[in-house]
Amino acid sequence: MNTTLKHFLHEDKRCVFFKIEGGENEENSTLNKEIILLVDISASMRDVFNSVKASLKSFKDVIDDDIPVSIITFNDEARHVDQDIDTLEARGKTNISAALNLAFDTSSDDKMTWIILFSDGSPNLGITSKDGFKSLVAMKSRKTKIVCAGFKKKSPSSILAVIGDFIYVKTERDIDPFFKSVAFEIITTTHVNFICKFHRLPDTVFKGSSFSCVFEYSEEYLQIEYIELKTNQTKTISLKSEESKIDDEIKNTIISGIMYKTLLEMKNMKNSLSKVNFDKYRNTIMKMMRDFGNRGKLIEIQSAFDLLENLHEYENLLNIEKTQSFVNRSQTLFIESKSSLPPRYSSVQDESKLIRTRLYDKN
């Protein structure tokens, strides 16, 4: 794990740039990790269920035996799977809250838990509202990360985005790459649960990951708390900032922060403003992005406006910007090398078409 802390003046205010990166050469550890897979087996999953089962078996094959993997299926109710995955059948309704509740009961307090939820439909039993799921998820352990895959456009993107990190799985051929990309994160994660009093930090740091932020801060030293998984100990480090000018890295991070706030804002604006006023709002935002002179971010923000008509794509982009879960080369190579696509998709994959949280390469 590598960290960078620099201070600079921005609009006459003392600010800091903080970056945390996952080391490329750190040894993988299986200690203090566990995985709980929540799999929708309602009737709507019937057509794709064989591909899901194949991906689940392949996922378990790439995870080290020392990392426990539990499977919970849900339709009208939730239950642990202690039988051959191939014997499972898709039927019934969709009770996501029952699956989450059982997963929370199952998770260990002394391990970092990844809960991976895969569903193609809106909940129609148990909790069915965003507010209800917000209340339920607020009760999860600090050492729990939830990743939610919404399969196709009937999946409830707005609800899944409330539950955890939302990933839009567009087609059947994208199911296996989704599971493999999460597997890579789990296998290579070394540090978790970062806390800073002044800014949100990532849940996990893994091989090739990178997260940066800028915020006002007047002190010379900054304290960061995190859990080192190898020892399972909470550690606190005090970092001293170095003086810096506003270089390209800092400038791009400032722009990214503005972009994320804009992404959060624009959906509410579209729902609350008239078409004329929303067009004025969009023109103001696009002018601001042009003034920044960053073509890449201008394209992304215009894409976000276009994607407001497709909430799955929008929520996916919002999660990318929030978590900074951009693709890294090591992860892409892992997905390619461990692929087990269904027979009809067995041709060579085009790397640019891998659908995952990490759709946009920083470079």
Q: Among 178-182, 192-196, 356-360, where is mean pLDDT lowest?
A: 356-360
SS3 letters for the chain?
A: CEEEEEEEEECCEEEEEEEEECCCCCCCCCCCEEEEEEEECCHHHHHHHHHHHHHHHHHHHHCCCCCCEEEEEECCCEEECCCCHHHCCCCCCCCHHHHHHHHHHHCCCCCEEEEEEEECCCCCCCCCCHHHHHHHHCCCCCCEEEEEEEECCCCCHHHHHHHCEEEEECCHHHHHHHHHHHHHHHHHCCEEEEECCCCCCCCEECCCCEEEEEEECCCCEEEEEEEECCCCEEEEEEEECEECCCCHHHHHHHHHHHHHHHHHHHHHHHHHCCHHHHHHHHHHHHHHHHHHCCHHHHHHHHHHHHHCCCHHHHHHHHHHHHHCCCCCHHHHHHHHHCCCCCHHHCCCCCHHHCCCCCCCCCC
Q: How many Cβ atoms sit within 10 Å of the Cβ of residue 346? A: 11
Are both 76 and 133 inside the same structural domain?
yes
Domain co-membership, 147 together with 106: yes
Structure confidence at residue 352 as a pLDDT band (50, 70, 90): very low
Do 274 and 151 sit in the same domain of this protein?
no
Residues 79 and 222 in one domain: no
Number of domains in the chain: 3
CATH code (residue 112)? 3.40.50.410
Give the mean model confidence (pLDDT) for residues 242-259: 91
Residue 333 lies in a domain: no
- Residue finishing a domain among 243, 262, 280: 243
Instruction: Indicate if 299 and 208 belong to the same structural domain.
Output: no
Residue 312 structure tokens: 């799955």
63/59 Cα distance (integer angstroms): 7
Q: Are residues 170 and 56 in the same domain?
A: yes
pLDDT for residue 40? 95
What confidence score (pLDDT) does residue 73 get? 95
Q: Is 362 a residue whose pLDDT tops 80?
A: no
| Domain boundary pick from 150, 169, 188 | 188
On whether both 178 and 37 belong to a single domain, the answer is: yes
Q: What is the pLDDT of residues 22-50, one digit of tens each?
A: 988 888 889 999 999 999 999 999 888 99
Q: Are residues 177 and 38 in the same domain?
A: yes
Q: Is residue 116 part of a domain?
A: yes
Q: Are residues 221 and 262 in the same domain?
A: no
| 19 lies in the same domain as 109 | no
Average pLDDT taken over every residue of the chain:
88
Predicted confidence at residue 341, as pLDDT, reads 56
Q: Which domain, by its residues, includes 238?
A: 2-26+191-243
CA 281 vs CA 52, 277, 355: distances in Å: 42, 6, 31
Q: Domain check: are 175 and 195 in the same one?
A: no
pLDDT for residue 13: 93
Category of 11 on φ-ψ map: left (φ > 0), alpha (ψ -120 to 50) or beta: left
Please give the model's pTM, rounded to 2 decimal places.
0.87
